[in-house]
Amino acid sequence: AIVAVIATLVVAGGAFAVWTLWSSGRDGPAPTSAPVTVTETASATTTTGTPPPDSVPCDSTVGVGSTMTTCPFAAAVRDAYLAAGAKGEARTVRAFSPATGRSYSMSCVPEQGIVVCRGGDNAVVHIY
């Protein structure tokens, strides 16, 4: 009886081994490949453009686009804009005007390669 059990186990084990080898090789060998790494670098939006013809430069980074706007206020708007995030993105900032002693809300948007901020008392600021 023990010989019959051992013989049955040997036959069953052999059949299992043959089935495993047959089924794993049926689809061909498993493909081998090295892991693939994809790296993407995002760059910040930069604005480099020419200010409109009516822009009066205050320095190399900012100008005024209306007679209601002073260079010290334009610099304050530029500083508030750059402190709030990356250059080239639309946002609203508050800036203090040394000429009036008041703070004004300015809506800034990218236009023609520069950032244009409008608000306050008809103020226009060009950030280059």
Q: How far apart are CA 38 and CA 67, in angstroms?
A: 52
Is position 70 within any domain?
yes
pLDDT of amino acid 83? 98
Is the predicted pLDDT of residue 5 greater than 60, yes or no?
A: no
**Residue 72 sits in which domain range?**
56-127
Is position 81 within any domain?
yes
pLDDT of amino acid 58? 98
Mind listing the pLDDT tens digit for each residue in 33-73?
A: 566 555 454 444 554 688 899 999 999 999 999 999 999 99
pLDDT of amino acid 48? 65
Is the predicted pLDDT of residue 26 greater than 90, yes or no?
A: no
Q: How far apart are CA 102 and CA 85, in angstroms?
A: 23
Is position 104 within any domain?
yes
Is position 80 within any domain?
yes
Q: What is the mean pLDDT of residues 2-14?
A: 48
Question: Taking the model in full, what pTM does it have?
Answer: 0.64
Question: What DSSP line would sit under 43-92, residue for residue?
Answer: -------PPPTT-EESSSSEEE-STT--HHHHHHHHHHHHHTS-TT--EE
Q: How many domains does the chain have?
A: 1
pLDDT of amino acid 49? 82
Is position 94 within any domain?
yes
Is position 50 within any domain?
no
Is the predicted pLDDT of residue 17 greater than 90, yes or no?
A: no
Is position 88 within any domain?
yes
pLDDT of amino acid 1? 66
Is position 63 within any domain?
yes
Mind listing the pLDDT tens digit for each residue in 89-127?
A: 999 999 999 999 999 999 999 999 999 999 999 999 999
